[in-house]
Amino acid sequence: MMNLELLMWATNVTGDSSFYHIAVSHANTTMKNHYRQNYSSYHVVVYNPQTGVVIKKQTAQGAFDESAWARGKSWSLYGYTMMYRYTKDKKHLDQAQHIASFILNNPNLPSDKIPYWDYNAPGIPNAQRDASAGAIMASALIELSRYSNDSLSKKYLGTASTILHTLSSNEYKAAIGTNGGFLLMHSVANMNKNAEVDAPLPYADYYYVEAMCRYKKLLK
């Protein structure tokens, strides 16, 4: 879902609508096959490359196949919000708002709004947090607030503000000259492979900065 923005950009730049149609088809297919009734999602859906039939649904970086991997939820929230920006198709807006509802009403979302690495992670409330999931979520919610009614907009912006204040605290924001030069600490790339666990990640910093820029623009 995140990669679709490149296809939308390609259509805008080249005038070739095939990129746009590929992106829309991908978004709609993902909407159909990845999501459960509560708008959590599978991480991986395997398709038959000849027929397009779904073979299996599973996880790669989540706690287990039926769990809700936190960064995946943030990616999908961001992706459908972005798709609405380009398509103005209400079903993409509805999907983004449904995903936001799953996240924001989840009983395992901490009060500081930085998710555990999986919303069903073993060991909650002592499970590892994922700053990258929080940063991506904050940026997505700020944009989604622009397309939503006053009540939802207030809720989205309030959550984004909480996330940004939390990430900007000493708990998550590294001191200058530490953390390998990265801004944020405490992200999780792949818990299952013990890869970059409780570590800085480039996409945590990127979406943290983007979220701050978006928030600052709104304040103006």
Q: Give me the domain span that covers residue 162.
A: 68-219
pLDDT at 63: 98
pLDDT at 214: 98
Does the residue 41 lie in any domain? no
Question: Using CA atoms, how far apart are residues 2 and 75, in angstroms rounded to an integer?
Answer: 6
Beta bridge partners of 44: 58
* Closest to 160 (Cα-Cα) out of 102, 101, 98, 112: 112
125: preceding bond cis by omega (within 30 degrees): yes
* Amino acid identity for residue 5 in this structure: E
Question: Would you give per-residue pLDDT tens digits along the chain (220 residues)?
Answer: 999 999 999 999 999 999 999 999 999 999 999 999 999 999 999 999 999 999 999 999 999 999 999 999 999 999 999 999 999 999 999 999 999 999 999 999 999 999 999 999 999 999 999 999 999 999 999 999 999 999 999 999 999 999 999 999 999 999 999 999 999 999 999 999 999 999 999 999 999 999 999 999 998 8
Does the residue 94 lie in any domain? yes
pLDDT at 220: 80
pLDDT at 27: 98
* Other CB atoms within 10 Å distance of the CB of residue 47: 13
Could you tell me the CA-to-CA distances from 122 to 68, 69, 203 in Å, in that order? 12, 12, 25
Question: Using CA atoms, how far apart are residues 132 and 115, in angstroms rounded to an integer?
Answer: 9
Does the residue 18 lie in any domain? no
Does the residue 25 lie in any domain? no
* Closest to 207 (Cα-Cα) out of 134, 158, 146, 157: 134
* Closest to 163 (Cα-Cα) out of 38, 80, 74, 94: 74
Quote the number of domains for the chain. 1
pLDDT at 132: 98
Question: Using CA atoms, how far apart are residues 32 and 75, in angstroms rounded to an integer?
Answer: 17
Q: What is the CATH number for 174?
A: 1.50.10.10
Does the residue 55 lie in any domain? no
SS3 assignment, position 188: strand
Could you tell me the CA-to-CA distances from 131 to 32, 43, 66, 81, 159 in Å, in that order? 29, 19, 22, 20, 14
User: H-helix or E-strand containing 34?
Assistant: helix 18-34
SS3 assignment, position 65: coil
Does the residue 90 lie in any domain? yes
pLDDT at 56: 97
Does the residue 174 lie in any domain? yes
Does the residue 52 lie in any domain? no
Question: Using CA atoms, how far apart are residues 215 and 220, in angstroms rounded to an integer?
Answer: 9
